[in-house]
Amino acid sequence: MAIKKISNSLFSSAKFQELVLREIQVAQTVHHPNIVNCISAVRTPNNLYIITEFCDGITLEKLLAEKKTLPEEEALKYFSQIVSGYQSLFEKNVVHRDIKPANLIFNSDQLKICDLGFAKIVEEGGESSMTILGTPLYMSPQLLKCEKYTNKCDVWAMGFVFYEMLYGRPPWSGKSQMKLIESITKTPLQFPDSIKVSDDTKYLISKMLVIEEDSRIGWPEMFKHPLLKITKSKSA
């Protein structure tokens, strides 16, 4: 097991308390081999302890820092795993909103989604004007511009992560949130010729990184995509 300790002194912030309690609530409703499972939570006079399964590996962020890029076959394998894990979130009407390499961790050869602190169970239909949270680099254009968004914001973030696995850098960047928005809206998506990636994979990424949500590929289509070996979810 792994234990996350949070001092009760931090609960002086109502917003922080809401985030932590939400993390526990969401984590305890979702069970999947590609999601770090939450076992329990214990509150003492001094601390809150969140008990999860132990993962013996490093984060995807650290792996990419070491290797820079992954071969297409390996990237597809890990990408399929996290999309499979996301299927459990999708079935529970959960939007993660902070998918990024630092929140993807290995346990042996299994890549798992972790840190559901920014996740929220949403109502039927999925559209939300929830508080904007997450990491700007991986935010969808809708989140960056504080517009309404759906669970397709996580499709965008997954597309960013997949691109980074293959090319060793994000598809767009910016020194500020405004510069990032400008880069996304003014610079077409590019696939460097220096790294060989199949046309099918590049086409999938291009469908995930469509600026307008209505035209972006959705999760049901992702789960059935022939490039991804997604089995029927066994979430509890």
**Does domain 2-52 sit in CATH 3.30.200.20?**
yes
Between strands 2-7 and 47-52, the pairing is antiparallel
8 Å CB contact between 49 and 57:
no
SS (H, E, C) 152-169: HHHHHHHHHHHHHHHHCC
DSSP 8-state class, residue 35: B
Mean pLDDT of successive 10-residue stretches along the chain, which has 236 residues: 87 78 83 91 88 93 97 97 95 92 95 83 50 76 92 97 97 92 96 96 98 97 91 51
Among 56, 98, 109, 154, the one annotated catalytic: 98
Answer yes or no: same fold for 2-52 and 60-223: no
Q: Give domain limits for the chain.
A: 2-52, 60-223
**What residue type is assigned to position 70 of the chain?**
L
Q: Is 200 a catalytic residue?
A: no
The pTM (predicted TM-score) of the whole model is: 0.88
Given the candidates 1.10.10.60, 1.10.510.10, 3.55.40.20, 3.90.1170.40, the CATH classification of the domain at 60-223 is: 1.10.510.10
Residue-wise pLDDT for 8-58, tens only, equals 888 777 777 777 888 788 888 889 999 998 888 888 989 989 899 999 999
Rounded CA-CA distance 223/42 in Å is: 35
Helix (H) or strand (E) holding 43: strand 38-43
